[in-house]
Amino acid sequence: MRILAVSDIFPFPPYHGSAVISYNWIRLLAARNEVALLSVRPPQDAGCVTRLEEIGICLISPRTPLVRSRSLWHAVSFLPRAMRALRIQELRSSYTEAVVSFRPDLTLMVGAVLGAVFPVLPRLCPIVFVPYDSEALSIRTRLPFLRGPLPRLHALIELGKWGAVETKFYCHADACVAVTEDDALTICRNWKREQKQRMHVIPNGVDVVYFYPVDEGEVVGRVVITGNMWSLESRLSVRWFLGSVLPLIRERFSGVTVDVVGRGPDPSLLRLAERLGGVAVHGFVPDIRPYIARGSVYVAPLRLGSGMKNRVIEALAMGKPVVTTPEGIRGIRVRAGRDVLVARTADEFARAVVALLQDSTLRRNVGQAGRAAVVAHHSWNAIAPRIEALLATVSGDYMARVGCVPSRPQTPSVGLPH
């Protein structure tokens, strides 16, 4: 099959959500298909381009920039703020040129902001759209944590805009993919009955070879927490853990230290870490594996947000015992109490962490069970057949409707690389 991938960001390096999904989907698909990539944003450097070319991706460069100047993002519009970054007509033209030149059997679009182009997009081939999360669900979970009337008003306006976009735009795709049931149900809640058949759930995956258990280097009493500190959910989770949970842990287990890893830590977090002592804030690191490996326990005290949390499945894949919240395991096929420990309150969270710190056998058992669950259900080798099966079905249905013959037999692949 010939597949045109359109990504909201350049998918390499795959450091965060959208890039992780874009990179791994096209990497897996390129093993058995011809894949071309049109990226809304340019690569960081030539090395990123080389990496994609090495795995067989053909890169299509747009004639004009597809992203507006940041100063224009604030213009009045019915679109959510993130979508206002797109130069929609230029993206439409670049997409049309790419379809005409590459002649794909199917288009794969990854990233919620790309939904903005559906009202003007020519239907030249079937489209599988992967917003992966519901932005409306994410905003709804943030509302209780916002302080002051202006932040709440802004969030309510964005909630209304994203709700309208998810209802009116996303349903135009031949298939729409979310990573959890909650996100899928939110996206299609106001779709017509026949449109809801286009909604699919394919969970996110993790490279279980790259994220592999490391037996050496563990620091007894070390707790690790990771996340992009630019996001509200990460900032609140870290502050809640440090301010409400860590003191309870230290009452029961002395000498606990914490590594906080992730881009964008603000001055208030640095001040809190200094005041508490024994808390190291590392900021962005190109490779989080050594930090996870050194921890005795990995924590993900998330209380808001949508989608699946890559940080959780990465830690599980490394065989680390994980303590998290119900929000932290949304969409992840694990058994609470066996593969992962789940807590709601600060006291429950502290008790779970202390139980693991005090018992090396429990740490080993929970860590091994967590990795086994991730390998079985969330390795890319487990996810890949579902991706190809969906794309083959969508392409086949489209060909049947228009009476065309596909460029290649539409056979789902199995046993792709991790």
Q: At what angle do helices 346-358 and 360-377 cross, to 10 degrees?
A: 110
Based on the fold, state whether residues 151 and 285 are members of the same structural domain: no
Based on the fold, state whether residues 187 and 231 are members of the same structural domain: no
- In a domain? residue 14: yes
Domain count, the chain: 2
SS3 315: helix
- C-alpha closest to that of 370 among 340, 331, 343, 325: 340
| Distance from C-alpha of 392 to C-alpha of 220, rounded to nearest angstrom | 49
- In a domain? residue 297: yes
The per-residue pLDDT string of the chain (418 residues; one tens digit each, 9 = 90 and over) reads 999 999 999 999 988 778 999 999 999 999 999 999 999 999 988 999 999 999 999 999 998 888 876 655 555 578 998 898 899 999 999 999 999 999 999 999 999 999 999 999 988 999 999 999 999 999 999 999 998 999 999 999 999 999 999 999 999 999 999 999 999 999 999 999 999 999 999 999 999 999 999 977 899 999 999 998 888 889 999 999 999 999 999 999 999 999 999 988 889 999 999 999 999 999 899 999 999 999 999 999 999 989 999 999 999 999 999 999 999 999 999 999 999 999 999 999 999 999 999 999 999 999 999 999 999 999 999 999 999 999 999 999 888 888 765 544 443 333 333 3
| Distance from C-alpha of 396 to C-alpha of 151, rounded to nearest angstrom | 46
Judge whether 91 and 66 are in contact, CB under 8 Å. yes
Based on the fold, state whether residues 176 and 307 are members of the same structural domain: no
Question: How much is the CA Rg of the chain, to the nearest whole Å?
Answer: 22
Judge whether 302 and 310 are in contact, CB under 8 Å. no
Judge whether 387 and 367 are in contact, CB under 8 Å. no
Max Cα distance, the chain (Å) = 70
- In a domain? residue 211: no
SS3 1: coil
Judge whether 92 and 71 are in contact, CB under 8 Å. no
- Report the Cα–Cα distance between both ends of the chain, in Å, rounded: 21
Judge whether 177 and 201 are in contact, CB under 8 Å. yes
| pLDDT for 67 | 86
Based on the fold, state whether residues 124 and 250 are members of the same structural domain: no
Residue 63's domain spans which residues?
Answer: 2-205+381-402
Q: What is the pTM of this model?
A: 0.90
Looking up residue 114, the CATH number of its domain turns out to be 3.40.50.2000
Based on the fold, state whether residues 148 and 268 are members of the same structural domain: no
- In a domain? residue 411: no
| Distance from C-alpha of 97 to C-alpha of 417, rounded to nearest angstrom | 32
| Distance from C-alpha of 249 to C-alpha of 353, rounded to nearest angstrom | 7
